[in-house]
Structure formats: structure tokens, C-alpha cells
Amino acid sequence: DIQMTQSPSTLSAFVGDRVTITCRASQSFSTWLAWYQQKPGKAPKLLIYKASSLESGVPSRFSGSGSGTEFTLTISSLQPDDFATYYCQQYKSYPGTFGQGTKVEIK
Amino acid sequence: EVQLLESGGGLVQPGGSLRLSCAASGFTFSSYAMNWVRQAPGKGLEWVSGIYGSGNITYYADSVKGRFTISRDNPKNTLSLQMNSLRAEDTAVYYCAKTSGGSSGWYSCFDYWGQGTLVAVSS
């Protein structure tokens, strides 16, 4: 299985900050990568697919980049609604393995 | 509007069984692979099982292989997960998730998720 490692595990930031989360894969798989946002007690929500494509309805302050084994999720200006846990997922092969998550907290 | 509604969770003793269901609406159910993903309390997401749109191909995580069975009833737009020989480590919120494209689910992320149903395995 492809292993996914996110960093950092926790991130503290102010409203308005630019935030970057990294996801590294144990093997290369082009751009078959998604990012999800999850708030406490809620289901995950798809933000980004194909590494850099924004899901419909997702604010443009979210962006994704990368290919191969290193990927990033960037929030250009952190908003109060963005404090949540973010997961990457590779879907090049079954199972679609998830990273361990990055919790974005208010500083 | 796509909707996924899980049911069937609850408290069960170790070694017991439980059957989860996911009622789907708002899309052509048989055209999409479906999955179960779980989340243990305070932990991350773990893919559990997937099934082709036709229902003829299934996949399982090693942690549940031989104990869990995924199935679907396309005329009834329902996804199921039969869970046998349950263990304490199976305690989690179980989500059903729709793949974003294709009846096989390959090269597809999960674009819609249900609200989840809690399974607690304890004596």
C-alpha cells in the first residue's frame, strides 16, 4: 500500500495567515491526490481533487499543488471557518490511503 | 442533491455482529463505486471496504478481511456492511462515501459522505 505522511500534525495560526500543509507519499503516483476538511462531529468534505482542482463551491483561498510524492494544500488567508482537521488521500490505487491529518488551530 | 444516510450502528459485545446500511439518493446509484470509511474516536480516517457499481468486485482492508462483507442493492439504492466477529478496535464512526467517478472507483476520490453511524464494541 502507498503510505501518506502529513506535516505538521498540528498547526497554530492567526486569522489572515497563509497556511501550508504538506503530504508526502511513499511512492510516486502522478496527481491522484485529494484533500478533505473535517470539522468536529462532521463528515469529511472534499476540497481539492487531482492535486490542484478545486471542488465546486469551495472558496478560492484553498489551493493545491504538487505531483509525484510531494503535495501541498495552501490556505491563502485563514478564515474563522477554516479551523478544522485536513486530510490528504491518494487514490491511485486501492485502498485510497489517507494521511494522518493536520489539525489547524486558532493562535 | 446527493444524500447518503447511514443507519444500523450501536453498542455490541466483542464477538458480536452488526449490519450497517447506507441509503443513497440524488444520483444514479449503480453507476458509482461506493465505500465504507471509519474513524476511531480521536483518530484519523481509515478506508474499510469498497464495491464496484455492479456489485461484482469488492475490496477490503486487511484489518477487516474475512470478518466484514460489503454489498449493495442497486434497485433499492442501498449499500450495506455486514460486520461479524467484532472487536474493540472496530469501535468507530462508520461513513459511507461515494466515489467521484466511474463504476469501478479506480482513480476516484470520495466526493460525498454520509453523516456517519457510531459502532461501539464493548462488554
pLDDT in tens, chain B (123 residues): 999 999 999 999 999 999 999 999 999 999 999 999 999 999 999 999 999 999 999 999 999 999 999 999 999 999 999 999 999 999 999 999 999 987 887 888 999 999 999 999 999
Q: Yes or no: say if A87 and A71 are a contact pair by the CB < 8 Å rule.
A: no
A-B C-beta contacts closer than 8 Å: 56
Residue A13 reports pLDDT greater than 80: yes
- The length of chain A is 107
B95/A100 CB distance under 8 A: no
Cα of A90 to nearest chain B Cα, Å: 8
- CB neighbour burial string for B27-44, b if at least 16 within 10 angstroms, e if fewer: bebeebbbbbbbbeeeee
Residue of B44, B100, B106 with shortest CB distance to A98: B44
Cβ contacts of B1 on chain A, cutoff 8 Å: none
Residue of A38, A49, A99 with shortest CB distance to B109: A49
Mean model confidence pLDDT for chain A: 95
Cβ contacts of A89 on chain B, cutoff 8 Å: 45, 109-110
**Residue B101: its pLDDT value, please?**
84
Cα–Cα distance between B52 and B66 in angstroms, integer?
18
Residue A25 reports pLDDT greater than 90: yes
Cα of A15 to nearest chain B Cα, Å: 25
Cβ contacts of A96 on chain B, cutoff 8 Å: 35, 47, 109-110
Q: A107 falls in which pLDDT band (50, 70, 90)?
A: confident
Q: Yes or no: say if B36 and B20 are a contact pair by the CB < 8 Å rule.
A: yes
Question: Can you tell me the mean pLDDT for A73-102?
Answer: 94
Closest chain B CA to residue A43:
B115
**Contact A61/B at CB under 8 A:** no
Residue of A34, A42, A100 with shortest CB distance to B109: A34
**Residue B106: its pLDDT value, please?**
82
**Contact A96/B at CB under 8 A:** yes
